[in-house]
Chains A and B, each alone.
Chain A
Amino acid sequence: MNRLRIDLFISAPGLLLLAVGFLVPAAVILVLGVRDADGAWTSVHLVRFLTDSFYLGIAWRTVKLSLLITAICVVAGTPLAYIMARGGPRLRLWLIVCITLPLMTSVVVRTFGWMVVLGRGGLVPDALKMLGLVNRNYTLMHTETAIVAGMVQVLFPFMVLSILGVVQRIDSRLEEAARVMGCSFLQSLRLVVLPLAVPGIVAGSLLVFTLSASYFITPNLLGGSRLPVLASSIYETATKTLDWQFAGAQSIILLIGVLMLLIVQAKLTRPAHG
């Protein structure tokens, strides 16, 4: 019991911080979402969200973009994870550093970079102009493309590392056996590695989807106020229109969505440790 008391003592500051700095503030906002101006319980804000086509459109955009981001991460990330798993430790380390770097830089720095690349007169529009596809005022800023690009850059390592973990545990002798039995390299990837990598892909997808639904600054800066996703809509509602209750209602919906995904993810990873 003495040892339990010590454990409680050393974790108390963390628990306190968590409660005061995270749980209580979150609860405050969530509760606002189900209260009206007089403080009584109401579902009017939630109903408003679920019946207004504008806001449903926001929810749809959030889901649509998150799906797209996740899909791109899967397609682009799976081969990279394989290369990192089978490549040497040095290559693996350098690649981990490279893909994790954007995640570790400040979001404003990243966004600025994308602005230069995608904005008017930026690299990509200039290249497209040279190919004769667009005129000189073309910008990719404040488009869904920009949002997807910015988010993929950041969330990519989550997908890759998740798949990497799984592929590293696949015995490379299985692939050798497939080759010896007549498969080409690509066939062995498709028939042996890919099926076995699925758990990592699924886990990574859930994580990336959850995170992309939760981010707000990147979509806000790169997509602009005319292309809100749920998280940035919450920001707008709270700071521009000052409708805190409605912001709270949107927060509830976002949180429910995220929690459902996390529960699915938890259920999927539990049996492996059984």
Chain B
Amino acid sequence: MVEAARGSIRVGTAIYLVAILLFVLGPLVVVAGVSFTAGEYVAFPPQGLSLRWYEAIFSSSVYVSAALTSLKLAVIVTISATVIGAGSAIALHRGRLPATPALSALFLSPLVLPSIIFALGLLTLWSSLVGRTSFFALWLGHTVIAVPYVIRTALAVLSTSDKFLEEAARTMGAGPWKAIFHVVIPQALPGIAAGAFFAFNISFDEAIVSLFLRSPEITTLPIQIYTQLEFSPDPSIAAVSTLMIGLTILLIFVIDRVLGIQKVAG
């Protein structure tokens, strides 16, 4: 349709697209730009180009240990969120649980309901029941946030699958558990895999729950950045941030390979 429009409209469209992309991606590009600065201060455009800030963060024990903590946490969260989320998604898809529509909404609610409420609550509960926050508390909070992502993508794939496959497997002698392993899980696998990568990304980037449940012993990378932001930001933040953005872009492409972004975004 756009081809049949006037030239001025086409030019306008191009300008509009550029403006949108500038607004949406600008801050991220700026961060990347700052990270390569040779100077001492955070400034854009960068004063000279250098990798000194990247060297700085790799040799900073604070950043490295925060990164390792985030990595460790993200891996464990991914595994648990994937297993828990896949099981829940399969059960929801089959629709035999009581009040399945309500249950579905409930499972997906952490995605829309204000996270401040449950994060506060988690802190309260934890300090009154257990005491000091720990790795386990962080795991709990992260997994609660990550599971809905796995459920969402797994359900999206399952909803387009052939509903007769499971019945066919049963007529071929597969009991209920075997049917799940040999038919349902292979069918849902792209959705589960995409969900796993989402979960990793969510956990690695997570700042809200981590903010509440942080303690001096456990600092995740985003929280490290946060504390740095509160004091004196220097270009090392930019370097860390750029690496994190790079990781996210990588994960987006992996998700697209595994599932296709369209199916997830739609």
Contacts and interface: CB of A to CB of B under 8 A. Distances in A.
Given A101-B249, A165-B266, A258-B112, A6 B4 contact: no
Given A113-B27, A176-B1, A161 B245 contact: no
B42 interface: yes
Given A93-B261, A108-B225, A29 B124 contact: yes
A264 to B, nearest CB: 13
Contacts of B90: 7, 10-11
Nearest to A11: B91
Interface of A: 2-4, 6-8, 10-11, 13-15, 17-18, 20-22, 24-30, 32, 76, 79-80, 83, 86-87, 92-93, 95-102, 104-117, 121-123, 149, 152-153, 156-157, 161, 164-165, 172, 175-176, 179, 185-186, 188, 207, 210-211, 213-217, 221, 231, 234-235, 238, 244, 247, 251, 254-255, 258, 262, 266
Given A99-B24, A109-B244, 14 more contacts: A10-B87, A11-B88, A14-B85, A25-B122, A101-B28, A101-B249, A105-B244, A108-B226, A114-B27, A116-B42, A161-B265, A185-B9, A210-B112, A217-B207
Contacts of A266: 105
Interface of A is mostly: helix
A230 B9 CA distance: 42
B177 interface: yes
B92 to A, nearest CB: 7
Interface in B71-116: 83-85, 87-88, 90-92, 94, 96-97, 105-107, 109-110, 112-116
Interface size class of B (residues with CB under 8 A): 35 or more
Which residue of B96, B201, B265 has the most chain A CB atoms within 10 A of its CB atom? B265
Nearest to A153: B24
Contact of B124 (A28, A101, A153, A211): A28
9 contacts: A2-B176, A6-B180, A11-B87, A22-B144, A26-B118, A116-B42, A153-B23, A157-B265, A214-B114
A263 B184 CA distance: 32
A161 B252 contact: no
B58 interface: no
B196 interface: no
A106 B28 CA distance: 11
A159 B16 CA distance: 17
